[in-house]
Structures are given as structure tokens and as C-alpha cells.
Amino acid sequence: MATELTNEGDTFAIGGEETVHRLGFGAMRLTGEDIIGPPEDEDAASDVIRRAVELGIDFIDTADSYGPGVSERLLGEALSEDDDVFVASKAGLLRHRDGEWTPHGDPEYLHNQALASLDRLRTDSIDLYQFHRPDPDTDFEESVQAFAEMKDAGQIEHVGLSNVTVEELETAMDIVDIATVQNQYNIGNREDEAVLEACEEKGVGFIPWGPMYTVDDEGVAGVLDDVGARHDATRRQIALAWLLDHSDVMLPIPGTSSVEHLEENVAATQIDLFDEDRAALDGIDPQ
């Protein structure tokens, strides 16, 4: 009998309160080409969201800059309170039609973006709102204070950070409780291992963006294929399985605009790595 496909990942309590499956879904790719404008087929994008919920994904990550605004809007239209999905969004990074991502951490702007996010997501309070990237032209503590004020006002339930150092995490935690950190991290790029370790020590969720970015790299792909052969799995599935196995605070959010790829990602939660697998995968020399 075939095993029913469902999200079998372990759970994590975000902020010590909201329990979600550790394998989530990143909604950035539901937008148009280059993360600008709407997708060619909005119904297809909605189908991906609905299928994610059916598969047991209860943690979805987006941002005001994805589209901009498009990803949040699509989620607001496709999800309902009955779905019981924990939605995380972000503010503090602008997306331009020329392809640039520009930090913008001005507190007044962040407050304004929160209002726009609330409207697009069709909610009275955002489950998790993350400071997308520190702005070199704005005092970091002032930006974080804006998120603390949003939390006090009941506009957001939990505060998260993205693209930060250990020092910035510690600074922010002196201002407001930090539930999650979202930094680039994957099997071939572990530059922020120290940030992950700090999150483990503090009980903060770690959301690795770009979880698949290095799966085709030299020195990585071959090892993933070797391990995958033992599990009848793709290199991308093994990369996800490794992330889930690597740390109990890890919350991968692989994104896709394809139901097929979504189902492939969820199937990775059914992979149990062997000791020899861990040794091989841990032994990859990150670039």
C-alpha cells in the first residue's frame, strides 16, 4: 500500500507558543518573473497554496516586497481562518522593477507597510512579522523598536529578524522578544552557522532561506546523489532532509510555483537519514 503523502516533519513552537510543522512553504515564487508583478496564472498559484494546506503545511512565509504585495494578496485570497495556517511576512526591503532589492528600515515606513500587509493578508494581526534586512542608513535599534511597537499595538503576534548577525540578534532581543531568524543557509553554504547556534541556545526558530541554492554545485551534487540513491530520493529532497535533521530549530521554507515540486518537497519529510548519510552530508565542505 502506498504511503499517503503528508507533512511528516517534526514540530516547533514559534515564540514558545505557536506549534507548526518544521517544513513550511515559501510563497515568494508565486509572483511574476523575477519576483515582480502577478503570476501568469493566479488560479494556478492559488492551487499551490491550497495543495500546501492539504498536505499539512501550516507555516507559510511571504513578504511585502514579493511582487511587491502580490504574494501577500494571493495568500489573503486563498487562505481562511479555518485553515489554521501560521503566516509569516516581512517588511524593510524594497523590490524594484530593475531587479534591485533595497533595504529601507525607516520606522514610519515599517509601520505603514504593516498596515498594507494586514490589508492584503486579510487579517487583524500578523502571526509573525520579520525585519527583512538591516538598513545601513537607519539605526538598527530604531527599526526593531518599530516592530516592538507593532506588537504592543496588537498588529503582529511575534517579531522576527532576517539577514542578521549574532550581535544584531542579541541587540534586538534587548528590545523585544525575537521568535525567529531568517538567514541564507543550506547544505553548501553554512556561513551563518554561528547564528544558527545562537538560535539553538536561545530557543529561536531558524528559517534558512535559499535551502536549495547549492544542490547543483560541484562538491555538493555528487554527495547528494549518492545519498539519494540509498533512499530513492532526489538531491533536493536529500538537501531538505539534511536541514530538518541538522537542527531542531530549523524551519525550511522551500518555495515553488509548481504543485509537483511542492509534493516532492513534502515527501522529503518522510526520509530518515542513516548515520553514514549524516557523515557524508556533514562532511561536505561549504563554500
Q: Which residues are catalytic?
A: 66
Which helix (H) or strand (E) segment holds residue 230: the answer is: helix 221-231
Q: What are the two backbone dihedrals, phi and then psi, of residue 61, each rounded to the nearest 5 degrees?
A: -110, 135
Whether 54 contacts 19, CB under 8 Å? no
Whether 107 contacts 142, CB under 8 Å? yes
Question: Kind of pairing, strands 101-103 and 93-95?
Answer: antiparallel
Coil, helix or strand at residue 84: coil
Amino acid letter, residue 220: V
**Angle ∠(180,181,186) on CA atoms, nearest 5:** 125
State the Cα–Cα distance between residues 198 and 194, nearest whole angstrom.
6
DSSP one-letter string for 190-221: -TTHHHHHHHHHHT-EEEEESTTTTTTSTTTH
Count, residues in the chain: 287
